[in-house]
Structures are given as structure tokens and as C-alpha cells.
Amino acid sequence: MDSKARWCVRIVRVGDLDDNPSVRGGVVTIGNFDGVHCGHRELLERTRELAGRLGGPAVAVTFDPHPAAVLRPNEPIRPLTWTDFKFRLLAETNIDAVVVLPADAALLGRSAEEFFQEILLDRLRVKGIVEGADFRFGRGREGDLETLRTLAAPHGIVVEGVPAVEIDGKPVSSSRIRQLIGKGEVARAGRLLGRPFRTCGLVVHGAARGRTLGYPTANLQRVKTILPDEGIYAGTAWVDGRRWPAAISLGGNPTFDEYSVKFEVFIVDFQGDLYDRWLEVEFLERLRGVEKHDSVESLLTQMRRDVEATSRIFDETFGAGKAAFDSG
């Protein structure tokens, strides 16, 4: 794939570099960039700065799929971002290009020295490399930042190490954010991401019980990322470039003796047909756990409170009375 991305950044598969010489001869930073969180953004900004000093493009080098899907196929990591959204987030960081490496057995089996020679020297012809202190590369994660400096020095390649970004006294990392989301702490996860956590799922037909109760929901399946712990959340939904307030239910419907986990989204004040469309949903704050009510009336009272809380949190986050529009 080689596309002049609609986000104004060039996305290039490593096999297509001969057709895209403009992405060579610059400064790179290498990583999975899962979540494109605050720590990643610092690396990307430093990459942009070093490219400005040395000349050449600022390039993010990433992998598709996530290497864990190849190395541990029976224990796949549910990502924080799906591939398309990761590219969109990377494009927002003012880099010039994203080079995508195939995370296959051949690539992941290369030693650190082979990776450096074949990818960074022969393919990308880099002038500089920017990485965090915990950077690892090569077969079995054998190479680190010092390995990189040793390999780069004979070629006059500048290697710049970047200290970890810390929030609440701890380094920001994708694994830390996954843990927070897994516990339902989506507001804290959002602080580390620098934006609300976003996922994406396909809207399918459900039991239509929400509609009969006056709260029609979009039922999502085939979700592309990790999901928070079961509960009721205030969030948003993106429809045709507009961000709407959305009350989100993750879990069963114990009031009706239904306990299979469902992902249901009530979009406040929205009217329209979303069936068979991919819907992007953001999580702002956990409101409560999933509860069993003694009556439908009691459930409806709680649902009204949840929707009111969702609207309030949405207004506090994005501005009261403002329609939030974006490219999504």
C-alpha cells in the first residue's frame, strides 16, 4: 500500500519504498504505537525536531499486525487502536510519513544487527533515530538503545534517547493504559492517551428492547479493540463526522434475566438508521456497575439518570451547547 493519505501523511508499505524515495534519508522512530498515547507523541515530536536539524523526513516506523499476534497467536493482545485509526492519530502528530513493516515470522526472526542493516540502513537510509529508554528490537528483543547506538556510530547516524513521559508518577505505556481500561478506569486512561479512549464496532440488529423502553440502542459486535470492564459509561458516538453524547452499556440485562455480555450504545437526541455501519465510540467516564432492578419502572428511572449524567459530562468535556464536529 502506498497512499497519499487522506490525513495528509504518506503511508508506505516497506516493500514499496523504491516507489517512494522521499521517505528515505530522514529521522525515524520505531514502535507499535498502540494507542498513540502521550509518550508516543513525545517521541514523534522529538523525531520531528531532529529531522528539522538533520534534514529529511520525519518517519514513524510501525508494524502490522501487532507483533504479539504473530509471536503469541493463542494469547493475542486486544489493541488500544485499530490500524486505520492508528494511522489517523499518527498523521495528527505532524510527521511526514508512516512506514509499515509486515510483522511476520521473517521480520520478527531477524537479529538486532540484521534489522538495523536491512531495514534502517539498506531500506530507509536513516540519518537519525529517536527512541525511548525502554526500546527493544530484534529477535527475542535482544537489542536495546545502547545496541542501537553501537550499530549506528560507524555510519554517523545520530541516536537520540527520550526519557519516559510520566503521569501520576509512573511512565505512560500501552500496557498501563490497557490495565486501566480493563478495570473500567476510562477517565484515567484518557489522561494517559491524551484523548478519550475510542473503539469501533459494527452495528447489528438486537432484541429491540431498548426501543420499546424509549431508549433505542446501537448494538455493536466485531469490536476492533480492547473493551472496558462491564458497566455503564458516559461516552460519545461519532456519526458522519459529528460527535454525539452517548450512554454506553457493557454487560448483560439482569433485570430481564439476560446475562450474556452486550455492547449497547444509546446516542442522545440522535435519530437515524445505523444498521450495518461501523460506529466509533468513545468512553469518557464510568457511571456505575450493571445492576438488577426490581421493576421496569425502577430501571427506567436509573436510565434517565444515566442519560442526564452522560449529557452533563459531555457538556463539561466539550462545551455546553456546542455541536462537536471533527474528521473523526
Active site residues: 264
| DSSP β-bridge partners for residue 201 | 279
Q: List the helix and strand counts (H, then E) for the chain.
A: 10, 16
Contacts of 280 (CB under 8 A, 6+ apart): 85, 198, 199, 200, 237, 238, 328
Residue 73 is placed in which grid cell? 497467536
Q: Which SS3 state, helix, strand or coil, does residue 52 take?
A: helix
Angle formed at CA 93 by CA 186 and CA 149, multiple of 5 degrees? 100
Contact 38, 193 (CB under 8 A): yes
Contact 236, 230 (CB under 8 A): no
Residue 158 is placed in which grid cell? 545520530
Q: Which SS3 state, helix, strand or coil, does residue 159 take?
A: strand
